[in-house]
Structures are given as C-alpha cells and as structure tokens.
A and B are shown apart, each in its own frame.
Chain A
Amino acid sequence: MTSFSALVRRDIKLAVREGGAIGTALGFFLIVVSLMPLGLGPDLNLLARIAAGILWIALLLAALLSLGRIFETDYEDGALDILATGQLPLELVAAAKSLAHWLTTGIPLALLAPILGILLNLDLKSYPILIATMLVGTPAVSFLGAIGAALTLKARRGGLLLAVIVLPLYIPTLIFGISAVSATAGPGGVGAAFLVLTAISLAAIVLGPIAAAAALRIQFQ
C-alpha cells in the first residue's frame, strides 16, 4: 500500500511541477466552452438549456487530451519498465496512475465547470448537482481512459486513435451525467441517473486497471 500511495504522490507531484499539465487541460476546457456561444449565437435562453451538455462534452474532450500523460511519459523515459518489474502488481500501478490522473485532471475540471457555467447562463439551482455529477462521473473518465491510453501506447497516430477508442466508452457516462443534471427540473429523476452514474464510475474503477494492465503486459512481452 505504501508503494501505491508513493506512486500516486509521485504522479501528482509530476503533474503539478511539470507545468502546463493541469493548466493546459483547464485552458482547453475554457476555450472550448467559450467557443460554443460564438458558434451557437448569444441567445441566453438557448445557452441555459444546453449548458450542462456543453460543459460535459468539453470536459470529456479536455480529459481526453490529457490521457496520454497517464502512461506515455513514463513509457518514453523507461520508468514504466521499472514499475512493471517492481513489487507492485501492474493492475495497482495502472490504478494508481489513473487515480493520480483523476486527482490532477478530473477534480480541477469538475471544479472549474460551474465557473464556466456563468458564461453559459446556467441556472444557479443546477450548480450543486452539476458539481456533484462531475465529481462522481470523472473517475469513470480517468479509469476508462487509462484502458485507451494503455492500448495505444505503441500505436502510430496514437492521439487520434485514442479518441476513436475511448469516446465510445465515454458515451454512457455522458448520457447519465447530463440526464442527472437536466432532470433537476422534474421531481425524482435525479436520483436514478445519479446512482447509475455512480455505478458506472465504480465499475470503471474496478475494470479499468485490469484491462489497462493486460494491455501493458502484452506490450512488454
């Protein structure tokens, strides 16, 4: 367990000190969201209606761009080989790296989302549920993304391929993330979508590292 937390702390430190790792994702998030009103027209009623969807999609894209960071840099400088031959099972290595990705990307993006909601005239009442769904849904983004990052580690055109592989896996998260927010208007609908979203995240936390570790092992053979 100590090596697990050491690995998480190392990845967080790298993400914070590397410079640009977290900031770029947040900047991308900000720019994509501010492009939307320019493309759709500044009608505030329309924007308020689709704000949750825009925020979720922009969050997925921003997280997607940072997925390469999970394994790629460590693969390039050889650290991943050392981790693979170390004491910690590869599944836990993948889990630690996904967790660090969630802590350094998922949480900052989820916390920035309500501020960007102001730009989109998002209803103030939706703020708590929006933050809650994003905090609950982003683990699925990181842990499912780790599968794609591991699969495309050695691929040519890895970035585009990663999007083609991972975005379909994100669709359930997106659907339930948005329906949890937009169901705020009606009574009772929030709970169900929120619970399903939680279930997706929990399943991703279990299955993601197993699949990612399998993919890594194949490539180290």
Chain B
Amino acid sequence: MPLMQTLTQKLANPTRFMELSDRVLPWLLAAAAALLVYGLYLAFFASPADYQQGETVRIMYIHVPCAWLSMMIYALIALSSFGLLVFRHPLADVSAKAAAPIGAAFTFLALFTGSLWGKPMWGTYWVWDARLTSVLILFFLYLGLMALRASLEDEAAAAKLTAVLALVGVTILPIIKFSVEWWNTLHQPSTDFTSTVDPSMRWPLLVMAVGFTVLFFAMHLKAMRNEILRRRVKAMRAQAVAGRDRLAAQAAE
C-alpha cells in the first residue's frame, strides 16, 4: 500500500499533521454532529419499539456503538504502540496517549448503558457472565495504561513502557469478541447484523455506529492536537529557561 505509506510518512512531521488536521477537523465534527442528530432522531422517533423489549430496545442504539468503540479504540492503541516500538513513528505515542482516556470513557459507557438495559431485561444490573467480565477487564486495562503513564517521570520511557503493556493487553480482545460464542452466557451472541436484525432497526443502528465512530475520530484528532501543542509549550518553556540561564551566566562573567 504505497499510498498508506506515504500518508503515514507525511504525517510523521508534526507541523504537517497540525496543518492537515486543522483542515479535516471541522468536517469531521460536522459529519459526526449530522450523523448523530439523524441517528438519534431515527433511534428515538422513527424506529419501532421491540415487540418483546418495548421501548427499552432503544438503549441498544447507544450501547452497541459504545461497545464497538471500546474494542476498536483498544485496537487503535495497540496499533499505535506497535508503530511506536517498531517504526518509532513520532506521532504514534501521541495517538496512543490521546486515545486511552477516550477509550476508557466509551468502555465505561458501554458497561453503564448495558447495566441499565440489563435491569429491565435480565432483572439485574450486573451478572458475572463472560462478556461483561471481559469488558470489565478491558476497562481495567485502560486504567492500567493511564496509571502507568501517569506514574513515570521520563515521558519517552513512559511512552514505550505503556506501549509494551498495551501490546500485552491485546490478548484480551479476541477473548471479548468470542466470549459470547465460547461460553454459553446470558449476554446474547453477536447477531448476524445483515440478516437477523430487522431493517427498521438495522439502519438506525448503523447510522449511530458510524456517527459514534466519526465522533471518536474527531475527538481523537482534537486530543492529539492538544497533546502536540502541550509538548511544544513544554519544549519552548525548557528552551526559555535554558536561554535565561545562559544570559545569567554571561552576565556573571
């Protein structure tokens, strides 16, 4: 994929990344807003209530996109970590660092909405079944990534160590994906999206899933920009302090 390669190589220059992301970000935000407004309208007004679950089925339009994002974001962090450790791409760590809190938030939302859905459907907010437990472990992994990064003084070492932990944690992703198929659990197995979901619900769910994904990429891009700016400020401050020290040394001579 020569096109992909040149794109990631071009983006290795932070200045060029800032220019490009500055141009892309408004469009992404607008697309996310439009998709989510349309999707929420479909989910809450235009789509029918379920014949068994009644109105509570509408939780699905929030729950499923969050659950999908919780795994996709971890995969993105793992990919970025790989990019950092193997190719030493300068923006890989920025991407991994920016994505972790957002991923933790979506994982929490997936657990939270799932538990609200579970109360009317299963009669309990929480069960220790394989899918719920493995998503909870994923949430702990996100927390571990953030805690490890926060507790290390040296930012370059923190980046690489967090990347190692992210790659170790990747083993949990297939367990989450297949937990509902390997174990006979209360959480339903993944529905074959194209055939078993009625079109009247499939279309709103698809719009919501795409909307949430675009929203994540907009937030991710914004967080990456903030992180790059933070690093620049830090570097400039260090430079200013060094310059002042040099002036003071010259004055003393």
Q: Does B132 contact A (CB under 8 A)?
A: no
- Asked whether A165 lies within 8 Å of B148 as measured between CB atoms, the reply is yes
- Asked whether A165 lies within 8 Å of B144 as measured between CB atoms, the reply is yes
Known: A152-B148, A155-B151, A171-B137. A164 touches B143 (CB 8 A): yes
- Asked whether A168 lies within 8 Å of B144 as measured between CB atoms, the reply is yes
Interface size class of chain A, counting residues whose CB lies under 8 Å from the partner chain: 20 to 34
Which among A13-21, A65-73, A91-99, A210-218 touches the partner chain? A210-218
Q: Does B152 contact A (CB under 8 A)?
A: yes
Q: With the chains together, A154 CA to B154 CA distance in Å?
A: 10
Q: Does A157 contact B (CB under 8 A)?
A: yes
Q: Does B133 contact A (CB under 8 A)?
A: yes
Q: Does A161 contact B (CB under 8 A)?
A: yes
B147 to chain A, nearest CB (A): 5
- Asked whether B157 lies within 8 Å of A218 as measured between CB atoms, the reply is yes
Q: Does B116 contact A (CB under 8 A)?
A: no
- Asked whether B147 lies within 8 Å of A164 as measured between CB atoms, the reply is yes
Q: With the chains together, A164 CA to B169 CA distance in Å?
A: 13
Contact of A168 among B141, B151, B161 (CB under 8 A): B141
Contact of A215 among B153, B154, B161 (CB under 8 A): B161
Closest to A211 in B: B168
- Asked whether A168 lies within 8 Å of B164 as measured between CB atoms, the reply is no
Summed over the interface, the residue pairs from A and B with CB atoms below 8 Å come to a total of 60
A142 to chain B, nearest CB (A): 15
Q: Does A172 contact B (CB under 8 A)?
A: yes
Known: A155-B152, A168-B141. A214 touches B147 (CB 8 A): no
Known: A164-B143, A164-B144, A211-B168. A218 touches B160 (CB 8 A): yes
- Bitwise, A141-182 to B at CB < 8 A (1) or not (0) is 000000100011011111001001101110110010000000
Q: With the chains together, A172 CA to B176 CA distance in Å?
A: 12
B238 to chain A, nearest CB (A): 20
Q: Number of B interface residues, CB 8 Å?
A: 23
Closest to A147 in B: B168
Q: With the chains together, A152 CA to B161 CA distance in Å?
A: 9
Known: A168-B137, A168-B140. A211 touches B167 (CB 8 A): yes
- Chain A binding surface SS class: helix
- Chain B binding surface SS class: helix
Q: With the chains together, A161 CA to B162 CA distance in Å?
A: 13
A96 to chain B, nearest CB (A): 20
- Asked whether B161 lies within 8 Å of A157 as measured between CB atoms, the reply is no
- Asked whether A156 lies within 8 Å of B164 as measured between CB atoms, the reply is no
| Residues of chain B contacted by A168 (CB below 8 angstroms) | 137, 140-141, 144, 169
| Residues of chain A contacted by B148 (CB below 8 angstroms) | 151-152, 155, 161, 165
Q: In the complex, which of the residues A157, A167, A171, A207 has the most CB atoms of chain B within 10 Å of its own CB atom?
A: A171
Q: Does A219 contact B (CB under 8 A)?
A: yes
Known: A154-B157, A171-B137, A218-B160. A165 touches B152 (CB 8 A): no
Q: Does B49 contact A (CB under 8 A)?
A: no
| Residues of chain B contacted by A215 (CB below 8 angstroms) | 161, 164
A186 to chain B, nearest CB (A): 15
| Residues of chain A contacted by B160 (CB below 8 angstroms) | 218
Q: With the chains together, A156 CA to B147 CA distance in Å?
A: 11
- Asked whether B164 lies within 8 Å of A214 as measured between CB atoms, the reply is yes
| Residues of chain A contacted by B140 (CB below 8 angstroms) | 164, 167-168
Known: A161-B148, A164-B143, A171-B137. A156 touches B161 (CB 8 A): no
Q: With the chains together, A169 CA to B134 CA distance in Å?
A: 11
Q: With the chains together, A172 CA to B143 CA distance in Å?
A: 18
- Asked whether A207 lies within 8 Å of B168 as measured between CB atoms, the reply is yes
B196 to chain A, nearest CB (A): 29
| Residues of chain A contacted by B175 (CB below 8 angstroms) | 172
Q: With the chains together, A172 CA to B141 CA distance in Å?
A: 13
Q: Does B165 contact A (CB under 8 A)?
A: yes
Q: Show 18 residue pairs from A and B whose CB-CB distance is below 8 angstroms, ordered by the A residue.
A: A147-B165, A154-B153, A155-B148, A155-B151, A156-B151, A157-B151, A158-B151, A161-B151, A165-B144, A165-B147, A165-B148, A168-B137, A168-B144, A169-B169, A172-B175, A211-B164, A211-B168, A219-B161
- Top 7 closest A-B pairs, CB basis? A168-B140, A218-B160, A155-B151, A165-B144, A156-B151, A215-B164, A211-B168
